[in-house]
């Protein structure tokens, strides 16, 4: 799938550890001189489609959150659990939500 955004822009994902407060940074992708980036990785596609405002893509295909559960933030997992009808999604631990979503 081909994405268009600002030329030479690097997309970085910050992940904060809630216990220690440490922040790790991961480079998701880098757009070329024409502002284009092409990938078939579902995780990168989901990040670009859902977390990057102003990014456009050619295909009408969208990656669903269920397909990339392992990279979702806690808030995104809780939202997915709410949409899937998991009971007490707002009180459960993240590990328990992941187990229920796998079933």
Are 33 and 56 within one domain?
Answer: yes
pLDDT band at 3 (very low <50, low <70, confident <90, very high): very high
Q: How many domains does the chain have?
A: 2
90 in the same domain as 75: yes
* Segments forming the whole domain that contains residue 70: 64-103
Answer yes or no: do 39 and 28 share one domain. yes
- Residue 103: pLDDT over 70: no
pLDDT digits (tens, 9 = 90+) for 29-46: 999 999 999 999 988 998
Contact 35, 6 (CB under 8 A): yes
Residues 26 and 70 both lie in one domain: no
pLDDT in tens, 43-95: 899 899 988 999 999 887 788 877 777 778 888 888 889 988 989 888 899 88
Is 86 found in the same domain as 48? no
What is the crossing angle of helices 74-84 and 94-102, to 10°? 40
- The answer to whether residues 40 and 80 belong to one domain is no
Q: With 0-12 CB in 10 A as exposed, 13-18 as middle and 19+ as buried, what is 94?
A: middle
Are residue 28 and residue 68 in the same domain, yes or no? no
How many residues are present in the chain?
Answer: 103
In terms of Cα–Cα distance, which of 78, 91, 73, 92 is closest to 17?
73
Name the band, by pLDDT with cuts 50, 70 and 90, for residue 98. confident
Give the H or E element holding residue 64: none
User: What is the three-class DSSP state of 8?
Assistant: coil
Based on the fold, state whether residues 47 and 73 are members of the same structural domain: no
């Amino acid at each position: 799938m081909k994405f268009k955004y600002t030329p030479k822009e690097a997309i970085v994902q910050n992940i904060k550890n809630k216990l220690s407060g440490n922040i790790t940074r991961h480079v998701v992708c880098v757009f070329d001189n024409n502002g284009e980036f092409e990938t078939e990785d579902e995780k990168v596609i989901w990040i670009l489609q859902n977390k990057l405002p102003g990014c456009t893509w050619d295909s009408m295909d969208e990656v669903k959150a269920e397909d990339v559960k392992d990279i979702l933030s806690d808030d995104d997992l809780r939202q997915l659990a709410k949409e899937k009808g998991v009971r007490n999604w707002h009180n459960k631990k993240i590990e328990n939500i992941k187990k229920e979503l796998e079933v």
